[in-house]
Amino acid sequence: MKRGLSVAISALTLIFLQTAVFCPAAGAAGPYAQYLSVADVEKATGMKGLTMKEKPATLEFYSAGGTKILEAVFSGPNFYNTEVGTNSKNFESIAGVGEKAALGVPNMPFHLVFVKGMHCVVLQTLPGRDGKLPVAKDQLIAIGKIMAGRL
């Protein structure tokens, strides 16, 4: 009887610990939110009233009107070679962002790909209904520098 109770308590403890580690409480930030915040994007772009949604390996930023303006997608460092290496004619190298970085020009969406440590991040801004990009090239690079400094 004691052994059965001990096994049950151990199992419940394990379930509790897994839930606490892998399922953050409602409103709690996930693992990638530490690298870029709404305040960071507002400061870099001058926009106000932004919101963020975190999805698996992705941070999405929305304007006050609900339009997605920026996306940060996280993957392993080898993704850089897949994205930039196979499309090198569509990228220009950028200095000062992570260990290596390239800006996708004139691609739509406009995107910055960089590597820092064990992360490759793709930052992209999406054109609005008017076809204009809400985040300018220099702003995208500034956001990349913020993130690279935290990775």
- Chain segment 68-105, per-residue pLDDT in tens: 999 999 999 899 998 898 888 889 899 999 999 999 87
Residue 125 sits at φ, ψ, to 5 deg, of -110, 140
Query: Which residues 6+ apart lie within 8 Å of 39 measured at CB?
Result: none
Tell me the CATH number for domain 29-150. 3.40.1000
Q: Please tell me the predicted confidence (pLDDT) of residue 20.
A: 34
Q: Which residue has the tokens 């960089």?
A: 114
Q: How far apart are CA 149 and CA 151, in angstroms?
A: 6
CA distances 7 to 2, 3, 11, 14, Å, are: 9, 6, 6, 11
Q: What φ, ψ does residue 78 adopt, rounded to 5°?
A: -70, -20
| Whether the predicted model's global pTM rises above the 0.95 cut | no
